[in-house]
């Protein structure tokens, strides 16, 4: 129950402290956020006035009940704003389906509420209007809904040019949620916004909760509920069958109440806060969510945030924005961390909570990661990740569409692209139902990486080796039209180097070229980079992003059989060096080849075993050095 306690504490801090300027504030107990579709305006005497479509498609807090929030099967109505099938008593007459049970559930709850002592007159006016059973007739009469030839509500419209505004909602009429406004002092005010309505609903709601049980979260005797709210779709975090049919496992308990008991206040606070945090600052993808938050309610750096996302790049000094060396990047991280340590959320004694959850089935949601950390310890683990998993990456800036190459930490998206490939990521993004095998694999990968960051662990070797194998096959990096994408391959290669650096925690993985390195894999990588750059320079190829050099074509073979393959690549390189004859470039490339080959010790040049990931490190560092070294 610690996650419920943490969420309840966050809720209490939100309402007890200074109000936060959030676009979507935390909803109080007894209310839930809903996207409203249709607004019906009535007069104080319960007479219909007008109706309109809420085209802005905004979400608003509306009164709610525990039963309605947990509904998955039988009709259970929200007390005020609900779907048309609940509020319209005459819908059955305009449909082939009998919706009378839905209206009966709504009418019963609204009537009971109106009989309370402090029920506002505007609420009674609404009840008087709905008792007339003319909602559908009124909506048809004012041109919002349309009837087909059979006199039933029409849910489709063939002609796009003349399509009425109702059909832009893209949902059947019976599923549209209705908002009600009542005229007060020459202005139509939504009932959900009236202070009297809010206070009346909360009093009525609490007065109906009488089942006193021991709350497993607060430890106090409080009104308990067993039909808890849904988190997303029909998926619940707390759910259990409590009937007495055969084959229902209850362990040593004789009733569901003995297995678990959560009070209404604790459940409402926890679920409202969890939904608010998920929508406000959660990482929500592929049917799973990961949230990192402070109980003070202020937004913190999350494990999935990139460095640029977290700290911005608005600075006049480009070296600070795009550090070109490992030392400059480490200085940027240290400077940022120094500033964060003065923030209350990251001080010793503060509380940071991380929670991951996913919908295992359409009706069940599980918590697959939960951890609480001291604020200072949380910051140190982020610092460890940023300074350990880094490399020189190429990114395209959205403001000017230019490529920038600088030292930084890969994002979760970039790590996934390196491990699974760009096409697999696109396939998972298009899988709206999160059913495909690749979607589930990427979802599991995301959660594993996030837990590695949160726990200060190394990147799993399986992920690093998967990215290494993919990077060693540059020919596979093609777009949908079949063109080779050098930019994507180089990005994947750089991310792989960052992963290898983090997975092995090896000091020899340096972002800058080490000309004195004698590792065989590193040296073969340098040779392939020289061959690649020399061929590009000789051809003066304008379309080098899509043309594969001989070094690229033989890249995979060079990793598997370095000595034999390099002999082939070197022989194919000679015609290109001949084109550069008597130029400074020819002298430069020949000198580089001689220098690198002289670095091999013993029988290193005749190596037949497969090369290690340092092969990629050598290639990437040497290529950057050639392309960016200033001519003397």
Which residue, of 178, 207, 236, is where some domain finishes?
207
pTM of the predicted model as reported, rounded to 2 decimal places: 0.86
Task: Tell me: pLDDT of 446 over 50.
Answer: yes
Cβ atoms 179, 190 nearer than 8 A: yes
Angle at 475 between CA 469 and CA 481, to 5 degrees: 125
Q: How far apart (Å, rounded) are the C-alpha atoms in residues 125 and 275?
A: 33
- Residue-wise pLDDT tens digits, 185-222: 999 999 999 999 999 999 999 888 888 888 988 889 99
Task: Tell me: pLDDT of 604 over 90.
Answer: no
Q: How many domains does the chain have?
A: 3
- Is 227 part of any domain? no
pLDDT at 314: 46
DSSP category for residue 463:
H
Task: Tell me: pLDDT of 312 over 60.
Answer: no
Q: How far apart (Å, rounded) are the C-alpha atoms in residues 299 and 317?
A: 27
Reported confidence tier of residue 243, pLDDT bands at 50, 70, 90: low
Mean pLDDT along residues 400-408 = 87
- Is 254 part of any domain? no
How large is the C-alpha radius of gyration of the chain? 32
pLDDT at 19: 59
pLDDT at 317: 56
600, 605, 607, 610 alpha-carbon torsion, rounded to 10°:
80
* Beta-bridge partner residues of 180: 40
Which residue, of 189, 207, 225, is where some domain finishes?
207
Both 316 and 453 in a single domain? yes
Cβ atoms 359, 236 nearer than 8 A: no
Mean pLDDT along residues 430-435 = 89
Both 484 and 541 in a single domain? no
Mean pLDDT along residues 160-167 = 85
Least confident of 3-12, 80-89, 445-454, 537-546: 537-546
Helix 562-579 and helix 520-539: axis angle, to 10°?
30
Cβ atoms 443, 287 nearer than 8 A: yes
- Is 53 part of any domain? yes
pLDDT at 545: 59
Cβ atoms 41, 142 nearer than 8 A: no
- Is 30 part of any domain? no
Which residue, of 207, 240, 266, is where some domain finishes?
207
- Is 597 part of any domain? yes
- Is 412 part of any domain? yes
Mean pLDDT along residues 80-88 = 96
Both 319 and 460 in a single domain? yes
Both 319 and 467 in a single domain? yes
Reported confidence tier of residue 247, pLDDT bands at 50, 70, 90: very low
- Is 451 part of any domain? yes
pLDDT at 242: 52
Find where tokens 């004012």 sit: 142
Both 176 and 313 in a single domain? no
Reported confidence tier of residue 539, pLDDT bands at 50, 70, 90: confident
DSSP category for residue 208:
T
- Is 296 part of any domain? yes
What percentage of the chain reaches a pLDDT higher than 90? 63
For residue 243, what are its two tokens? 């009937």
pLDDT at 363: 78
For residue 184, what are its two tokens? 């007060």
* Beta-bridge partner residues of 352: 294, 373
Q: How far apart (Å, rounded) are the C-alpha atoms in residues 41 and 138?
A: 11
pLDDT at 316: 47
Q: How far apart (Å, rounded) are the C-alpha atoms in residues 155 and 145?
A: 9
Reported confidence tier of residue 241, pLDDT bands at 50, 70, 90: low
Reported confidence tier of residue 632, pLDDT bands at 50, 70, 90: very low
pLDDT at 258: 74
Both 443 and 389 in a single domain? yes
Task: Tell me: pLDDT of 313 over 50.
Answer: no
Both 481 and 495 in a single domain? yes
pLDDT at 544: 58
Least confident of 5-19, 164-178, 578-592: 5-19
pLDDT at 59: 86
Both 589 and 476 in a single domain? no
Give residue 604's domain range: 513-632
Both 575 and 547 in a single domain? yes
Both 433 and 300 in a single domain? yes
Reported confidence tier of residue 250, pLDDT bands at 50, 70, 90: low
Among 315-329, 348-362, 421-435, the range with the most confident prediction by mean pLDDT is: 421-435
Cβ atoms within 10 Å, residue 122? 20
Find where tokens 């002592």 sit: 117
pLDDT at 492: 97
Both 383 and 415 in a single domain? yes
Mean pLDDT along residues 139-168 = 90
pLDDT at 299: 86
Q: How far apart (Å, rounded) are the C-alpha atoms in residues 391 and 406?
A: 8
Least confident of 97-101, 258-262, 484-488: 258-262
pLDDT at 450: 94
Both 59 and 203 in a single domain? yes
Task: Tell me: pLDDT of 371 over 80.
Answer: yes
């Amino acid at each position: 129950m610690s996650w419920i306690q943490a969420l309840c504490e966050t809720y209490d801090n939100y309402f007890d402290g200074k109000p936060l300027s959030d676009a979507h504030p935390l909803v109080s107990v007894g209310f839930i956020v809903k996207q409203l579709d249709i607004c019906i305006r009535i007069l104080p005497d319960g007479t219909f006035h007008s109706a309109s479509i809420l085209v802005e498609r905004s979400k608003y807090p509306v009164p709610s009940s525990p039963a309605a929030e947990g509904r998955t099967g039988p009709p259970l109505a929200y007390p005020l704003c609900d779907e048309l099938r609940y509020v319209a008593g005459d819908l059955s007459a305009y449909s082939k389906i009998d919706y009378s049970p839905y209206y009966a559930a709504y009418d019963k709850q609204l009537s009971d509420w109106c009989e309370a002592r402090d029920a506002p007159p505007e609420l009674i006016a609404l009840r008087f209007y709905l008792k007339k059973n003319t909602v559908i007739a009124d909506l048809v009469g004012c041109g919002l809904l349309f009837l087909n030839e059979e006199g039933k509500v029409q849910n489709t419209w063939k002609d796009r040019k003349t399509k009425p505004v109702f059909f832009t909602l893209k949902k059947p009429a019976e599923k549209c949620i209705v908002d009600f406004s009542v005229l007060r002092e020459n202005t139509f005010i939504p009932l959900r916004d009236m202070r009297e309505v809010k206070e009346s609903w909360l009093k009525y709601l609490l007065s109906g909760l009488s089942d006193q049980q021991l709350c497993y979260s607060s430890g106090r005797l409080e009104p308990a509920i067993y039909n808890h709210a849904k988190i997303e779709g029909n998926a619940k975090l707390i759910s259990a069958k409590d009937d007495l049919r055969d084959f229902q496992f209850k362990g040593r308990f004789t009733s569901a109440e003995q297995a678990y008991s959560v009070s209404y206040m604790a459940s409402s606070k926890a679920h409202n806060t969890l939904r608010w945090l998920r929508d406000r600052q959660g990482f929500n993808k592929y049917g799973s969510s990961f949230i990192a938050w402070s109980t003070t309610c202020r937004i913190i750096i999350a494990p999935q945030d990139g460095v640029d996302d977290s700290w911005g790049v608005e600075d006049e000094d480009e070296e600070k924005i795009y550090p070109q060396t490992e030392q400059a990047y480490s200085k940027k991280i240290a400077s940022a961390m120094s500033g964060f340590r003065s923030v209350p959320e990251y001080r010793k004694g503060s509380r940071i909570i991380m929670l991951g959850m996913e919908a295992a089935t359409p009706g069940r949601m599980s918590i697959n990661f939960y951890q609480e950390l001291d604020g200072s310890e949380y910051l140190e683990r982020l610092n460890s990740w940023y300074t350990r998993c880094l490399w020189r990456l190429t990114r395209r800036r959205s403001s000017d569409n230019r490529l920038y190459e600088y030292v930084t930490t890969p994002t979760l998206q970039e790590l996934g692209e390196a491990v699974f490939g760009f096409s697999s990521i696109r396939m998972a993004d298009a899988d709206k139902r999160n059913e495909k095998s690749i979607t589930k694999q990427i979802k599991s990968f995301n959660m594993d990486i996030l837990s590695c960051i949160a726990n200060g662990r190394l990147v799993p070797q399986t992920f690093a080796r998967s990215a290494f194998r993919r990077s060693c096959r540059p020919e596979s990096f093609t777009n949908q039209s079949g063109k080779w994408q050098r930019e994507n391959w180089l990005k994947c290669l750089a991310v792989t180097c960052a992963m290898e650096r983090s997975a092995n925690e090896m000091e020899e993985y340096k972002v800058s070229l080490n000309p004195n390195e004698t590792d065989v894999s590193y040296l073969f990588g340098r040779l392939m980079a020289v061959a690649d750059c020399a061929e590009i320079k000789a051809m003066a190829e304008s379309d080098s992003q899509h043309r594969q050099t001989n070094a690229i074509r033989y890249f995979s073979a060079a990793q598997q059989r370095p000595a034999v393959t390099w002999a082939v690549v070197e022989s194919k390189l000679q015609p290109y060096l001949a084109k550069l004859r008597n130029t400074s470039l020819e002298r430069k490339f020949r000198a580089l080849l001689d220098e690198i080959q002289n670095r091999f010790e013993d029988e290193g040049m005749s190596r037949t075993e497969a090369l290690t990931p340092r092969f990629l490190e050598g290639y990437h560092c040497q290529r950057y050095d050639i392309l960016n070294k200033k001519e003397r």
